[in-house]
Amino acid sequence: MNGQMRRWFLGTAACYVIILGGLLYWHLAADLGTHSANPRYYRVFSEPRGTIVDRRGEPLAVTLGEEENFRRSYAAASLTHVVGYFHPRYGMTALERIYHEELLVGRTVQTTIDLELQLKVESLMEGRIGAAVALSPATGEVLALVSSPWIDGNVLAERWSEYSEDGRSPFLNRVTQGQYPPGSVIKPIVYGTALERELTSPDQIWNDQGVFRVDGRTVQNFGGRSLGAITTEEALALSSNTVFAELAVELGDDLLSVLRRFALGSEPLWELGGQSGFVPQRAYSDHNKALLGIGQGELLVTPLQMGMVAAALANRGVLMQPYLVQELRGGFRLRQITRPVELGQVLSESVAAQVRDAMVLTARSGTAQGVCSDEVQLAAKTGTAQAGAKGDHAWFIGFAPSPMPQIAVAVLVEHGGTGSAAAAPIGAAIIEEALKIWNREKGIR
């Protein structure tokens, strides 16, 4: 009988342990805070909320209105792709969602965005379909990020149906989610890899006939023109497909491993996430290799990734992790400051300097010639990626001022035509504006 009592007690205790398991699950493991039937989720929309500010403390997202009737106001329409929106009917996205818990207790989220530059980029991209991102090369701070067209967080309810029916997908953040063939903007990496492997030198002379034959197929220069006797450096500046196809065939799978070192083909680990793009495991034919060298074939990249590439070339070959939030403060909690994270030396410092020189040449006398004044000391590369019947994608990557770059930019205009005509002027204008702001602030300091 005593044994029986002990068994009943153990049985009861075991049942309580199962109950404890249920408690652990619902209290800690389950995540139901934003479930659509949870009234707690809706209550947060009637409470005041912390502010999201730019790098100088200018408000990007603030709560306006009276008690019980708050609404969120955003400083720029294009910020919806960065800061996100916060709306009782449509929920929350981007930073508003990621830092929801912090904002709820009144904390301030300070971003790396420069509102003045963001507004400039917004005006440059307005009416186009594309993406532009500006980074600080030394740290990876994102200074401006615009995906066009955008949705305006201030008038969501009024224009929601219009946005939903818009065939240009304004909800898509093209900077992180858009995957495109890079075209010629991949050439600086091919150039750097070839220099690193000592396959060529900047002043080696090539005879560009306009056509490169491989595997019984051909790779042609843009517009079929032949550039004649040019150095490797000039081949980059004038964007010779034949030279880079030949270099890529010789590099083979080495090129693919360097592309992966630049974090192409992997998802970016930062606040907004994003697509990985695509870098093939290996190239199966020489024609494939040749196509990789001119940024065509299977290769896919996002504008953010190309921005990171430009920033790494500007930062002496050191790739930095991009980030958007530099500080969380207020709300009776400890201040949290983000520290820049190095992703590694992707090209040696000397090779990176040679690539930079070739990109300076591109801006001085190559495909990006005359897009901005000489004082800017621009280093750039344009690209025109073949994208079917709707027209080519126009690319631009660049940074300035070239000896000590302060800003790196990537611009993509979907089906915009040539990189020189459609993307380079936008990229140059972004860089000029950023340097203007930077010089003004340096003057104040």
Partner 1 sequence: MRPLYRAWLYFVAWLGGMALWLFYNKGTALWWQPLAICAICVALFIVTERRGCPPGGLQLVSVLVLLGWVFLFRLDSGWAARQFWGFVVGAGAYLLGLLLPWLHPRFGQLAAVAALTLLVLALVFGTRISGARAWLTVFDTFTFQPVEFARILLIIYLGGELAQNRLNVKSAAVLGLFLLLLALQTDLGPALLVFLVFSALYFTISFSWLKLVLFLGLGTAAAAAAVWKFPHLRTRLLAWLTPWDFLDSKGYQVLQGIFALNAGGLVGRGMGEGMADVIPAAHTDYILAVIGEEFGLLGTFALLLVYVGLAFWAFRLLLEVGDGRLRLIGLGFTLLLHVQVLLVVGGILRLIPFTGMTLPFVSYGSSSLTAQLWMFGMLTRLGREQL
Interacting residue ranges for partner 1, rule: CB under 8 A = 1-2, 4-6, 8-9, 12-13, 15-16, 18-20, 22-28, 30-33, 35, 37-40, 43
CB of 29 to partner 1, least distance (A): 9
CB of 7 to partner 1, least distance (A): 9
Q: Residue 357 half-sphere exposure, CB side, CA atoms within 13 Å?
A: 14
Cα–chain-centroid distance for residue 215?
35
Cβ contact 409:131 at 8 Å:
no
CB of 37 to partner 1, least distance (A): 6
User: 41 vs 171, which CB is nearer to partner 1?
Assistant: 41
> Which residues make beta-bridge pairs with 231?
205
The bridge status of strand 217-220 relative to strand 211-214 is: antiparallel
Q: Where are the beta strands (DSSP E) in 233-335?
A: 318-320, 325-329
Cβ contact 232:242 at 8 Å:
no
Residues with Cβ within 8 Å of residue 393, at least 6 apart in sequence: 180, 181, 183, 383, 384, 385, 387, 412, 413, 414, 415, 416
User: 12 vs 439, which CB is nearer to partner 1?
Assistant: 12
CB of 35 to partner 1, least distance (A): 7
User: 19 vs 155, which CB is nearer to partner 1?
Assistant: 19
The torsion of the CA quartet 49, 52, 58, 62, rounded to 10 degrees, works out to -30
First to last CA, the chain: 87
CB of 386 to partner 1, least distance (A): 48
CB of 5 to partner 1, least distance (A): 5
> Which residues make beta-bridge pairs with 134?
144, 409
Distance CA 396, CA 418 (A): 10
CB of 354 to partner 1, least distance (A): 55
CB of 222 to partner 1, least distance (A): 56
User: 43 vs 339, which CB is nearer to partner 1?
Assistant: 43
Q: Where are the beta strands (DSSP E) in 41-125?
A: 52-53, 59-66, 69-74, 86-87, 91-92, 108-111
User: 19 vs 157, which CB is nearer to partner 1?
Assistant: 19
Measured at the CA of 422, the angle between CA 418 and CA 423, to 5 degrees, comes to: 100
Distance CA 40, CA 127 (A): 39
Q: At 271, phi and psi to the nearest 5?
A: -55, -45
User: 28 vs 389, which CB is nearer to partner 1?
Assistant: 28
User: 24 vs 269, which CB is nearer to partner 1?
Assistant: 24
User: 97 vs 260, which CB is nearer to partner 1?
Assistant: 97
